[in-house]
Structure 1
Amino acid sequence: MMTVPTITTPRLLLRPFTLGDLHPLFKILQEPGIFKYFPRPGPPPLEKVERIIREQLTQYEQFGFGQWAVEAREKPGLIGWCGLNRLPNTNEDEVAYLLSQPVRGQGYATEGAQASLDFGFETIGLKRIIALVHPENAASRRVAEKIGMTLLDRKFYWGMECLRFEKFRPE
């Protein structure tokens, strides 16, 4: 099993989640509208947030990657998540990100997503990474495009139509 590293970018710290992140993550996930483009809108209860963190700990062990807890380097404290997921019942690996609303629009999602792609391609050796974007989520679509992903198709995931972007490991 590979230890999931902490990644430092110019402005972010991407570190493995711990159960100590439970209450800060719960607080972020209670923000109004945070799940606007998710298949099950509405804030999750505390028990579900704990399951989300435990699922990441399992992904770390199984695949050597998962979502990282994201902090801004100049102001420590959880601001969201960013990283890679192995999609259930597929052989596809997804880059995903979710940031607290007060820190959106500052390029953090792009910076974290690029670091996640670099890790997936260079460290893990993934050949292809996708991004799933709600068709109405213009900001997330811009992030996918800025990190060099191209629109592949529309596909249903979790009972919701998504734009599926992809990027292949550079040769």
Structure 2
Amino acid sequence: MIESPRLILRPLTEDDFIPLCVLFADPEVMQYIGDGKPRSPQSTATYLQWVIEHQQRYGFSLWAVIRKADDRWIGQCGLWHVEHTEEIELGYKLMQDCWGQGYATEAGWATLRYGFETLGLMRICAIAQPANRASQRVMEKVGMHYEKTGEFDGQSCFYYAVNRDQWNAFSKASAS
């Protein structure tokens, strides 16, 4: 479990299927994820199983984000291994009515702290489609830097990353 001032992040379980279906059914939430289309319940079930297996295998994955104020499930955030690479990626998705309130930045910050301080990771990346400026802003706010433009899952993407030393310096500067 990861805790921040307003949020709790915890591993996803089968009990998260319904809120995950709601999140993945929203066309606005999904417009910059993969092919940009909402996921069916069947696809969401497959995804949830993959996330749970990733958690069991590596001890981390994309986790549920719970808002402390009302114990509401508001999205997911976490770390995962990018297939066919050595990269570990920060990812996040929030319910549309929770956008613009700093939750993605707060969850991303807490996840990076967990990745570097608890898991001992040396580098964490993130990707966003060029049109997804909101996601790019979150990456910048948590100390990540633009590295390159490339392709992921058949889509053009901007790659951002931060290593442990950069993040430590950024987090110290942000705290002052």
* TM-score normalised by the chain length of structure 2: 0.91
1:44 correspondence with 2:39: yes
Q: Specify which structure has the higher proportion of helix.
A: 2
What is the CA deviation profile of residues 117-160 of structure 1, one whole-angstrom value per residue up to 9, with x for unaligned ones?
11111111110000101111111111000011110001111011
Runs of 4+ aligned structure 1 residues displaced above 4 Å come to: none
- What is the number of residues matched between the two proteins? 166
Instruction: Mark the runs of 5 or more structure 2 residues left unpaired by the alignment.
Output: 169-176
C-alpha distance in structure 1 between counterparts of 2:37 and 2:159, whole Å: 23
Residue in structure 2 matched with residue 136 of structure 1 by the alignment: 131
Cα shift at 1:29 = 1.5
Cα shift at 1:55 = 1.0
Amino acid corresponding to residue 165 of structure 1 in structure 2: Y
Residue in structure 1 matched with residue 171 of structure 2 by the alignment: none
What is the CA deviation profile of residues 55-112 of structure 1, one whole-angstrom value per residue up to 9, with x for unaligned ones?
1111112211100101110011211100001001111000010000000000000000
Amino acid corresponding to residue 21 of structure 1 in structure 2: D
Tell me, yes or no, if the aligned pair for 1:25 and 1:78 is still in contact at 8 Å. no
1:115 correspondence with 2:110: yes
3-state SS, counterpart of residue 111 of structure 2 = helix
C-alpha distance in structure 2 between counterparts of 1:72 and 1:134, whole Å: 27
Cα shift at 1:41 = 1.9
Tell me, yes or no, if the aligned pair for 1:16 and 1:67 is still in contact at 8 Å. yes
Q: Please list, as runs of the form range in 1=range in 2, the aligned pairs for 1:60-99 lying within 5 A after superposition.
A: 60-99=55-94
RMSD: 1.1
Amino acid corresponding to residue 158 of structure 1 in structure 2: D
Cα shift at 1:32 = 3.1
| Alignment equivalent of 1:23, drawn from 6, 18, 23 | 18
Cα shift at 1:53 = 1.3
